[in-house]
Structures are given as structure tokens and as C-alpha cells.
Amino acid sequence: MDSQTLRALGFSEWHRFASGVESLAPESKGVYAFRSSALAELRKGASDIMYIGRAMSDLRGPYHNIRHALREYLHPGRGQRTKLRVGHRAEEQEWEVSWMFAEHPDGAECELLRRFYREHNQLPQENRNWPPGCLP
């Protein structure tokens, strides 16, 4: 699985992850992904996808949407270790981000991670754990 696969599945155009990108993102729930310009060598094959995440309005209030999630990567709180790590690497390494609306973001994220795992025998580099309720 790579960024071309995600585009074929309905993800938006890719945008450089930097201040202002959040204003391009929709205020809707869905899934998003970060990609690198360089392929990462994986256990099986290679991919430019570095991280896959979800934004679920239903669980965290009406303001937690894709736009809000990306803003959190740009300005994470101290307790948001994943957002600190991924946001820092994304800015430092000039990653790009893309997103897709999903009625059920938790299921969409889980299916994308399962597909990635089936193809590469591991999660994307920055997805350190399976989300709650989602296993291979």
C-alpha cells in the first residue's frame, strides 16, 4: 500500500504538511495519512505511507474533525505524545498529508491498517500500536 493506493480509494490530493494546511482540510470526520517523499523499507516491500489516523466527531465532540486533528499535529499539547512525534517528523522531513471522509472513521482506519499490514507484514512506521478494537 502506498499513496497512489490511497488516492485510488478516495483520498484527497496530497498537501505539504505545514502551518495553514489545516485550513484546506474538511470539518468532517474521516481518516488521514501522512506520506514521505522517500520510500521506507519495510519487513515486506516498501511504502511512502508513514502514518494513518482518524478523526471522529462522535467521540470527542463536534469540533474533533479532520481539520481539528491536523491542527493538533501542528500545535500538540504536552500529553499528546503521538501528535508531538508525528507532527515534528512531518514538518522536519516535509511530509505530505491527505484525507478522506468516512462515515465510520474507526472502521475505515482499521481496514486501512489491516490492508497495510497484510501487504507489508507491519504497520506504517509511525503507527506504533493497533487502535483499540482493531487487530490484524
Domain count, the chain: 1
**Residue 25 domain-assigned (yes or no):** yes
pTM of the model: 0.92
- Domain residue limits at 25: 3-120
For residue 5, report the phi and psi dihedrals to the nearest 5 degrees. -60, -45
Distance, CA of 71 to CA of 81 (rounded, Å): 15
**Residue 131 domain-assigned (yes or no):** no
Condensed to tens digits (0 to 9), the pLDDT of residues 20-69 reads 999 999 999 999 999 999 999 999 999 999 999 999 755 555 558 999 99
Condensed to tens digits (0 to 9), the pLDDT of residues 110-120 reads 999 999 999 99
53: left (phi over 0), alpha (psi -120 to 50) or beta: beta
The CATH number of whichever domain residue 24 belongs to comes to: 3.40.1440.10
Q: How far is CA 93 from CA 1, 50, 57, 80, 106, in A?
A: 20, 11, 29, 20, 27
Condensed to tens digits (0 to 9), the pLDDT of residues 69-78 reads 999 999 988 8
**Residue 10 domain-assigned (yes or no):** yes
**Residue 9 domain-assigned (yes or no):** yes
pLDDT for the residue 76? 84
**Residue 69 domain-assigned (yes or no):** yes
**Residue 7 domain-assigned (yes or no):** yes
**Residue 77 domain-assigned (yes or no):** yes
